[in-house]
Amino acid sequence: MVYKDGPSQTVLVESPMKVFRHLRVGRYVLVVSVIAMTLAVDVLAKEMSITTRAKAPVSYARPWVMVGLSPDGCSRGCRHVFSVVKELSGNPNGLIVHFSKVTPEWLAELQPSFIILSPQGTPWCRYTGEMGVSLQNFLWMLPMAAEEMNIPILGICGGHQALALAFGGKVGPIRAGEDDCMPYIRERQGGVVPLTLTTSDPIFRGIDGKLRILESHFDEVKVLPPGFVLLASDKRSPNQIMRHPTKPVYGVQGHPECSYSNRPEGGTLIKNFLEIAVAHNQTVRTAYGPPVPKFLSLLKLDRGFPRN
């Protein structure tokens, strides 16, 4: 339709039917566009949901701590234990910390899901000077971490001995007195050693009768800490595996991280400890918020600690 507006202007006006057709086509295009966008958003949301669910255990997993007990930090054996525990736990949020850097305030703030005490190859009596004081402070702190903060702890080899010292046990060279400190050139227990299970415990789930474990140590736990339960023994070095009487705190003299297809018991021990820690955290540590204790600078402690 042509409409003349005065002598100099001409305005083209669409007919009503043509305008209606254009509006109807535009409406269809708009509806199709909205449907397409809705489908795209729905697919994207599903993909994001799947990705979030897959990564949630990693993103929100509470960290765990590997405490290096060697004077110079985390040894090769310490790093090997760390990698094995990281794999078996499925929790990559592990922290390696030297014992001299651990404080009650730090633990109370971090609230780790569990603590692993590493192997070490230095005689305890050779931790002298400032290093000896740091060791004594750390050992003094372990009962607090276990009994007041309710943190599950697993000590391996030297970590097993550190637990004994911390809770009032005695440690010394194999076939020597608890107060002796001799060079690491004489009595040693090494190789794969079959242990006798003396007390049933959840940490032995899936293990029947004999437990074969790799050993490599010169020192041993001479006397168990008061109240601790002996779980596994051996004639040459009797106090092989022990447990706190009421807390998920375990010491293993051997090396459970060295596990193979023909000797899987070591890996089973670690897996069982991790399951015990998970159950404990879900039932006992639901709040994860104990009061922060004060840290004391102790120079000398009479709890069976190594003498400087």
pLDDT tens, residue order, the chain (308 aa): 444 444 444 444 455 454 445 545 455 444 445 455 555 545 444 443 333 322 333 434 789 999 999 998 898 889 999 999 999 999 999 999 999 999 999 999 999 999 999 998 888 888 999 999 999 999 999 999 999 999 999 999 999 999 999 999 998 888 666 666 655 556 666 668 889 899 999 999 998 777 888 887 778 889 999 999 999 999 888 898 999 999 999 999 888 988 766 667 888 999 999 999 999 999 998 765 544 444 333 333 333 333 33
What is the fold of 64-283? Rossmann fold (3.40.50)
- Contact in structure between 147 and 168 (CB atoms under 8 Å): no
> Residue 230: which of 249, 243, 220 has the closest Cα?
243
Measured CA to CA, the distance from residue 157 to residue 219 in angstroms comes to 9
Kind plus residue range of the DSSP H or E element containing 32:
helix 16-60
* Residues linked to residue 189 through DSSP beta bridges, in sequence order: 217
Distances (CA, A) of 256 to 7, 102, 127, 198, 267: 103, 25, 26, 18, 6
Is 181 marked active-site? Answer: no
- Contact in structure between 74 and 65 (CB atoms under 8 Å): no
- Contact in structure between 195 and 234 (CB atoms under 8 Å): yes
Q: Which of 74, 98, 217, 257 is catalytic?
A: 257
Report pLDDT for 303: 34
Q: Which of 98, 160, 217, 255 is catalytic?
A: 255
The CB-side HSE value for 178 (13 A sphere, CA atoms) comes to: 14
How far is Cα of residue 202 from the mean position of the Cα atoms in its chain? Answer: 18
Measured CA to CA, the distance from residue 160 to residue 171 in angstroms comes to 10
Phi, psi of 249 (to 5 degrees): -125, 120
> Residue 251: which of 107, 100, 103, 119 has the closest Cα?
119
* Helix, strand, coil % over all residues of the chain, rounded to 5: 40, 20, 40
Q: Which of 74, 78, 125, 157 is catalytic?
A: 157
Token pair belonging to 17: 């039917």
Token pair belonging to 1: 């339709």
Q: Which amino acid is at 130?
A: E
Phi, psi of 197 (to 5 degrees): -75, 120
Print burial letters for 253-273: b (CB count within 10 Å at least 16), e (below 16): bbbbbbbeeeeebbbbbbbbb
Measured CA to CA, the distance from residue 206 to residue 265 in angstroms comes to 8
- Contact in structure between 232 and 187 (CB atoms under 8 Å): no
Is 125 marked active-site? Answer: no
Is 157 marked active-site? Answer: yes
Token pair belonging to 137: 């402070």
> Residue 193: which of 265, 117, 121 has the closest Cα?
265
